A and B are shown apart, each in its own frame.
Chain A
């Protein structure tokens, strides 16, 4: 029985990891684009982006998942997620947009905390805006945002479990199915081992990044 449980939990955890990885891959760059939008000098764009960020951060992720998955069917009688990986895709869309909004605020805070003198030093040296951002500002921003980002990313590991509300078979779902199927409660609690191990690895990883960037002070 033990090996059976481990097999099922591990399968579920692979789905958890998949949601985690793809969400990061999408939300990290999308967050930067949203951050630039929210700092734009073009006011309509800035207002639009700020409104979206407000809505996404102001409502529960669980509600967003449900809205994205059931919304199209209820509103337009057109369930766009009606294909084999549809549920998973809906989950990824919801997670990427949600996390991109949180990341964007961290990025914005990081960028705005860099002294104006750094931008101006690049300007008087004849650099272009993108050279200034990528060659001067970015690494300083990364150094500053590692702690808040590591917080968000560790939250993401556990938020993946919300995807079970639209029946995506991740690790909590896998653990829970043993309650009904085999009247076993411990597999559900055993999922914590997976989460703890994975978050432990991430914590070590972020520690390494912080250490790697400690050679300069900014």
Chain B
């Protein structure tokens, strides 16, 4: 059974159709990289999965149960949306840490409010996560005292604290100095395991090639190409994919 199955997701903003029917499925433990040029709808897709936007059509199923069905007339209630969101985690391009809390409290805030265990358990788990992203020595620092790369690693720990079924990353290194992208990508690579499923929107082709199990190339709101990294990077079928890959290789 797939951990995530999305079917024919469509989304328009006013008259612009941004997603024109996106379908794919993801097995537990897989890493999917989404690549594509600016404006192709990658962020919008992740936002639909995290219910920051509501898709107009299509279905989203997690672990076999349908949590969203665009054809059903019933509007999801606030609490249904909240519980749906908990299947997913999202790491933003711009980190969005809570500036008034130190690193430990940033990671602990949501599990504490959602009563995910006793205060001691929540804190122990948060400390373990912060260690996992290599920031134990910064545990009582505030976000403004950290580099961008460090902030993003905290954001990853914060997302992991709720144990989402699927963790999404929206260009996690795009806001970073080139020198800092490595540390974040290494942390993401280190998360790969048989029970963590991830979707990574990225412009880092080397990363997509070496870490993902599947690569999805989006163009103008549709899936132009989908397959293993070897398929997509080694033998792209569509002209658009070829042009995009050539373009992004030329940049270096």
Query: A5-19 CB contact bits vs B (8 Å, 1 = yes)?
Result: 000000000000000
Give A50 to B221 CA distance when docked, in angstroms: 40
Structural contact, B99 and A121, CB atoms closer than 8 A: no
Give A126 to B92 CA distance when docked, in angstroms: 15
The size of the chain A interface, using a CB distance under 8 A, is 23
Interface residues of A (CB under 8 A from B): 115, 117-118, 120-129, 131, 135-136, 139-140, 143, 215-218
Give A128 to B115 CA distance when docked, in angstroms: 13
Q: Cβ of A117: which chain B residues have Cβ within 8 Å of it?
A: 92, 94, 96
Given contacts A122-B110, A126-B162, 10 further A-B pairs with CB under 8 A are A121-B97, A123-B51, A124-B50, A124-B52, A124-B90, A124-B159, A125-B110, A128-B78, A129-B78, A131-B113
**Contact pick for B92, options A121, A127, A128, A136, CB 8 Å:** A121
A129 to chain B, nearest CB (A): 7
A124 to chain B, nearest CB (A): 4
Give A218 to B97 CA distance when docked, in angstroms: 10
Structural contact, B86 and A126, CB atoms closer than 8 A: yes
Main secondary structure of the interface of A (DSSP, over half): helix
Q: Is B144 an interface residue (CB 8 A)?
A: yes
B168 to chain A, nearest CB (A): 9
The 4 A-B residue pairs with the shortest CB-CB distance in the complex, in nearest-first order: A125-B110, A117-B96, A121-B96, A218-B99
Q: Is B11 an interface residue (CB 8 A)?
A: no
Structural contact, B82 and A120, CB atoms closer than 8 A: no
**Contact pick for B99, options A125, A127, A135, A216, CB 8 Å:** A216
Given the interface pairs A135-B109, A215-B142, the reply to whether A124 lies near B88 with Cβ below 8 Å is yes
Q: Is B238 an interface residue (CB 8 A)?
A: no
Given the interface pairs A117-B96, A216-B100, A218-B99, the reply to whether A127 lies near B89 with Cβ below 8 Å is no
Q: Is B114 an interface residue (CB 8 A)?
A: yes
A116 to chain B, nearest CB (A): 9
Give A216 to B145 CA distance when docked, in angstroms: 9
Give A125 to B158 CA distance when docked, in angstroms: 9
Query: B3-31 CB contact bits vs A (8 Å, 1 = yes)?
Result: 00000000000000000000000000000
B168 to A, closest residue via Cβ: A124
Q: Is B207 an interface residue (CB 8 A)?
A: no
**Contact pick for B98, options A118, A129, A215, CB 8 Å:** A118
Q: Cβ of A131: which chain B residues have Cβ within 8 Å of it?
A: 113
Structural contact, B92 and A140, CB atoms closer than 8 A: no
Structural contact, B113 and A120, CB atoms closer than 8 A: no
B216 to chain A, nearest CB (A): 21
A162 to chain B, nearest CB (A): 38
Q: Is B242 an interface residue (CB 8 A)?
A: no
